[in-house]
Amino acid sequence: MILQVAGIDYQKVPLALREYGAFTEEETRRALMMLQEQEGVFGAALLSTCNRTELYVHTEEEMQAKELFARMLDDAGVLEPAKGALLLALTVRRGDDVCRYLMEVACGMHSQIFGEDQIVTQVKRAWVETHEYGTADPVLERLFQSAVTAAKRVKTECRLTGSGTGAAQRMVEKLQQRGTWVGKTALVIGNGQMGRAAAEALVQAGMKVTMTVRHYKTREVVIPAGCQVIDYTERYAFLQQADVVVSATRSPHLTLEWDMLRPLLHKDHPVYFVDLAVPRDLPNELQEECSATYENMDTLGKTGPDGNQVEMLKAAQEILEEEAQEFRAWLLTRKFAPVVRGIADYAASDLVGRLEKSIRRLSDQPQELRDAVWTASAKTVASLLFHAQKELDSEQWKAMLEAMAKQEETI
């Protein structure tokens, strides 16, 4: 059995192609349910964000994650040539590399905005979905738990970036490069996590922010402080007074259609459009529209660690290595647990056999004494063998167990 991850991300795949491989909540559910039925797949998790789509699987050794990713694209209805281009850009990792990579992803080290906070929430969500759809297994469970734990440690012990770094803050930075926006009007389409983050960032920048919601009910929708609310159906009417329009939904469809949007745009009132969705919410024609400025997840730009973060990054890598080693030790223990039990059982049986005469002579209930000696000795041997793992490196421990198991077979 082996851990694998196959995926695409912004480093190899541009947004115009990446959005074909982005999965909605319903597509994620269907993909995981399909993978659950594949023979040789013990667990599966899908991480689909604006930066990446990655399939994490625990499978039989001979199974290829690339083939499973291709089946997932087929199930989502992705057609050629997009499917072929996505598979050509696919990156596959196997074995020990998977754990360390997911930890780095959860810390934001592989995000367009280095160290961004939102990714750890998305990793948690992918983890939760494995339980919702029945595709969790003990190895994937421990993998994602370790990644989230590592990300939390990095965040608290050696924060890589300033507070609240993410796409929403990057959007505000780019806006402010063009002047002041205090007192101006913003429309945010979408009330999910990204939409709320965008609204909060715009309020903090001093803008008057209005959000769209569908079927508004106070108990079901969270509205950030300082925001007004309109129904989603009113978005076109509100556009005529907006200076900034942000769309951030998980819908597979456009939130603004070009035929209806174009008549509302005027040169004397330029609008700044920001599309924080993958697949994109806004029409491609905005990129050519002279009366509008258009940004999306890729044009917001990539950021990396600055010179002041070198020591923090080094400390973060040390934390990740500690957590990765702990995961590898757990995985090794799990893998060799049957061998340890076999050695312990053999040792217990051997000891009881050697004490047989004494047991018969000293006890009027020999079977009870045999059972007590067998249980105690098996536990002691197993405890000693597992403790030895902490004192030896993994290869030494494996070699010791294999030698003992071989000796057991020859005696």
Q: Which residues are catalytic?
A: 50
Judge contact between 308 and 314, C-beta under 8 A.
no
Classify 333 as helix, strand or coil. helix
Judge contact between 278 and 297, C-beta under 8 A.
yes
The sheet with strand 271-275 has its strands ordered as 227-231, 208-213, 185-189, 244-247, 271-275, 292-296
Q: How many CB atoms lie within 10 A of CB 350?
A: 13
Residue 250 corresponds to which tokens in the numbers above?
């998980």
β-bridge pairing 91-94 and 208-213: unpaired
Residue 80 corresponds to which tokens in the numbers above?
């050629």
Residue 126 corresponds to which tokens in the numbers above?
């992918």
Residue 79 corresponds to which tokens in the numbers above?
């057609």
Task: Quote the CA–CA distance of 237 and 127 in Å, as a whole number.
Answer: 40
Task: Quote the CA–CA distance of 238 and 245 in Å, as a whole number.
Answer: 10
